[in-house]
A = this chain, B = another copy of it.
Amino acid sequence: MSGWVVVAGLGPGKETLVTPEVTAAVDQATDIVGYIPYVARIAPREGLTLHASDNRVELDRACHALEMAAEGRRVVIVSSGDPGVFAMASALFEAYEAHPEFAEIEIRILPGITAMLAAAAAAGAPLGHDFCAINLSDNLKPFELVEHRLRHAARGDFAMAFYNPRSKSRPHQFTRVLEVLREECEPERLILFARAVSTPEQRINTVTLAEATPEMADMRTVVLVGNSTTRRVGPWVYTPRGVAP
């Protein structure tokens, strides 16, 4: 029995952002498991079975991967970005904890380029000082906790990155996020809407908090908010490394 499960980050979209470590794991796999658009990024080949599944079935997908590994298969769960940032790694460990029969299975998590860092690189260096990453979706947590964390992030003068800012099922929440930011931050604060990062459709829209509207974000957008020192220089946005004492 030489099965294993790897959770691999494919990065934000561009193939030259996939690490050689991830490419090697995919090359050794017998099975690929993941959300439909991520599995679609894997080239079919003989001996490789692709198991694409819908969104919001993360635990079922993780159990399926562990079951196949227990049968001796070499399974790669593909994630967008980095698997440890609002992606499949935590779901795998939730399934692993719930099923002690899989305790001996070999697991590896392979990091990837997460969307906020690809977006930051495309824009300049807006996360160049202390920052927070917040998942705005309330699928798995109460929205009050999102708001609580937003206020602490703003009061700590962290730069921020927001994942899953907006979806059809909860269009109103990002409106509330902008309201909270306006209560906590100055109107000149820079906010970046980075859509489809690293793909041919990439678009980065930098505005002030006063100018920001909810429609600037959708589910393919990662939103970056500067800290109080974040500035523009030419076409770039960056956060200086230092703060005067």
Contact = CB atoms under 8 A, between A and B. Distances in A.
22 contacts: A17-B19, A19-B113, A84-B126, A84-B128, A89-B125, A91-B241, A93-B238, A94-B241, A96-B233, A96-B234, A103-B234, A107-B236, A109-B121, A109-B124, A110-B121, A113-B113, A129-B135, A133-B133, A140-B242, A148-B157, A149-B156, A152-B156
Interface string A81-106: 01111100111111011000001000
Interface in A111-132: 111-114, 117-118, 120-122, 124-132
Contacts of A233: 93, 96-97
A146 to B, nearest CB: 8
Say what secondary structure dominates the interface of chain A.
mixed
A243 B19 CA distance: 32
Interface in A16-37: 16-21, 24
B149 A243 contact: no
Number of copies: 2
Interface of A: 11, 14-21, 24, 58, 82-86, 89-94, 96-97, 103, 107, 109-114, 117-118, 120-122, 124-135, 139-142, 145, 148-149, 151-153, 155-158, 231, 233-234, 236, 238-243, 245
Contacts of A240: 90, 94
